[in-house]
Amino acid sequence: MPETYNDGTNGTHDVTYIADGTSRSNGVFSPIKSTLTSITLPRTITKIGLYAFFQCTALENVDLRDCTSLTSIDSGAFGVCSGLLSIDLSGCISLTSIGLDAFVSCSGLTSLNLSGCTSLTSIDQGAFYECSGLTSITIPSSVTIIGINAFKGCSKLTSVVFEDTSKTTWYVKSTDYVPEDSTTYQDVSSSSSTNATNLVTNYCGYYWCKHTSGTLPSL
């Protein structure tokens, strides 16, 4: 994808975002969803909109290495891209959020390293729901929120590494409202397999919110 475009009237402009689709069946790339196999997005991109690549089942590779200004991957952006094998987010230093169902049912995706996403704070509800081929993921220390069912149905996920080893206590609650009223706490384990079990099975239907400082509130 080019970095600039000419509108024919006011000259050349940077390509800064991929527009929202109006529905899951009407994303920007819906007309070529069965033929698009790979895409490299330019450094100028700041947002990947709603349902942009939804159900692009032929899409295998997405290169975001140069997208240092990308701040958000919105809801359903890569949902049901069942052929997606890899997505490179290593250069996405400005990415703050991965939206609702952003990668839902990307069954071909096997691993994802988010360690370069040093500004990422939230992985939203169902973000990787039913990514049944996903075996490992690294969660940056900047992440403070993991939504309900973010990893539900990730049946092969056996390794979850939390980069933050100093502040390891999270609220876990079975609703995404008022995390301060949590019913329990979950300590992040040094064992990547234990973390995987907790996110995929034990607490998959829970909202996670990191406790970062001070005294833990009473339950």
Report how far residue 94's alpha carbon sits from residue 31's, in angstroms, rounded to the nearest whole number.
Answer: 30
Q: With contact defined as beta carbons under 8 Å apart, do 20 and 45 qualify?
A: no
Domain 1-163+197-203: top CATH class: alpha beta
Cα–Cα distance list, 132 to 24, 53, 164, 215 (Å): 21, 19, 26, 38
Where exactly are the structural domains of the chain?
Answer: 1-163+197-203
Entry field: residues in the chain: 219
Is 215 exposed, middle or buried, given 0-12, 13-18 or 19+ CB atoms closer than 10 A?
A: exposed
pLDDT tens digit at each of 219 positions of the chain: 545 444 455 555 456 667 777 677 777 888 898 999 999 888 899 999 999 999 999 999 898 888 999 999 999 999 999 999 988 888 999 999 999 999 999 999 987 878 889 999 999 999 999 999 999 999 999 998 999 999 999 999 999 998 886 656 787 877 655 444 555 777 788 899 999 999 999 989 888 888 766 555 444
Edge-to-edge strands of the sheet including 97-98?
A: 17-18, 47-48, 72-73, 97-98, 122-123, 145-146, 207-210, 169-173, 184-187
